[in-house]
């Protein structure tokens, strides 16, 4: 069965979200698009809460959030137990966010990324495993 993966953005992340939603669907994921569904101004928290709740409750393993800077979305998501939301502005940061921080929510600063960068960051985050070892204890602390 395909892994279900939620994705959500505010208006600032909407266009890149649309691209990434298609990338995820093409990669075989069962994509749950929480919104927003257009460019009208919205509040990022209205989208971060339902996504983070799903991850926190273990209903999904991971999710993707986008806003202008990535900051508002990450602040909301990181309030939820068990959620480790990482703002990644490069593929290298996304890789380290998985290897060292076991990030289960990827947050993209859409206003500062090209579509190509966003897609590369998403792929790196999806394809990189947590290294465990010395990072296990650090994440637990
Ligand atoms: C929206 O203008 C912007 O503030 C929002 O997308 C995000 O960057 C907040 O952290």
Per-residue pLDDT tens digits for 108-121: 999 999 999 999 99
At 21 the pLDDT is 98
Could you tell me the pLDDT band of residue 42, with boundaries at 50, 70 and 90?
Answer: very high
For all residues of the chain together, what is the average pLDDT? 98
- Cβ–ligand 1 distance for 14 under 6 Å, the answer no
Q: Which atom number of ligand 1 is nearest to the Cα of residue 67?
A: 6
Active site residue 67: yes
By most ligand atoms within 8 Å of CB, the mutation choice from 9, 67, 71, 113 for ligand 1 is 67
Quick one: which of 79, 80, 73 has its CA closest to 108?
73
**Contact indicator for 81, 121 with CB cutoff of 8 Å:** no
Average pLDDT of the segment spanning 30-44: 98
Q: Which atom number of ligand 1 is nearest to the Cα of residue 10?
A: 6
- Cβ–ligand 1 distance for 44 under 6 Å, the answer yes
Nearest CA to ligand 1 atom 8: 68
Per-residue pLDDT tens digits for 11-26: 999 999 999 999 999 9
Per-residue pLDDT tens digits for 78-103: 999 999 999 999 999 999 999 999 99
**Contact indicator for 42, 18 with CB cutoff of 8 Å:** no
Q: How far is CA 123 from CA 15, 70, 93, in A?
A: 18, 18, 12
At 140 the pLDDT is 96
By most ligand atoms within 8 Å of CB, the mutation choice from 9, 42, 44 for ligand 1 is 44
d(CA 108, CA 12): 11
At 129 the pLDDT is 98
At 115 the pLDDT is 98
d(CA 83, CA 22): 24
Both structure tokens of 11: 């208006």
Say what percent of the chain tops pLDDT 70. Answer: 100
Task: List the alpha helices (DSSP H) in the chain.
Answer: 14-26, 45-56, 71-77, 91-99, 115-127, 134-140
From the list 49, 100, 123, 135, the catalytic residue is 100
At 65 the pLDDT is 99
Average pLDDT of the segment spanning 70-80: 98
Q: CB neighbours of 57 closer than 8 A, spacing ≥ 6?
A: none
């Amino acid at each position: 069965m395909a892994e279900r993966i939620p994705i959500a953005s505010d208006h600032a992340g909407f266009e890149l979200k649309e691209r990434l939603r298609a990338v995820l669907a093409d990669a075989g994921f069962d994509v749950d698009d929480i919104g927003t569904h257009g460019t009208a101004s919205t509040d990022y928290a209205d989208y971060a809460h339902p996504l983070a709740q799903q991850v926190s409750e273990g209903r999904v393993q991971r999710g993707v959030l986008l806003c202008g800077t990535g900051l508002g979305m990450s602040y909301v998501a990181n309030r939820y137990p068990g959620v480790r939301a990482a703002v990644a502005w490069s593929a290298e940061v996304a890789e380290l966010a998985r290897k060292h921080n076991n990030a289960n929510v990827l947050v993209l600063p859409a206003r500062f990324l090209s579509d190509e960068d966003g897609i590369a960051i998403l792929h790196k985050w999806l394809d990189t495993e947590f290294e465990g070892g010395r990072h296990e204890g650090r994440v637990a602390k």
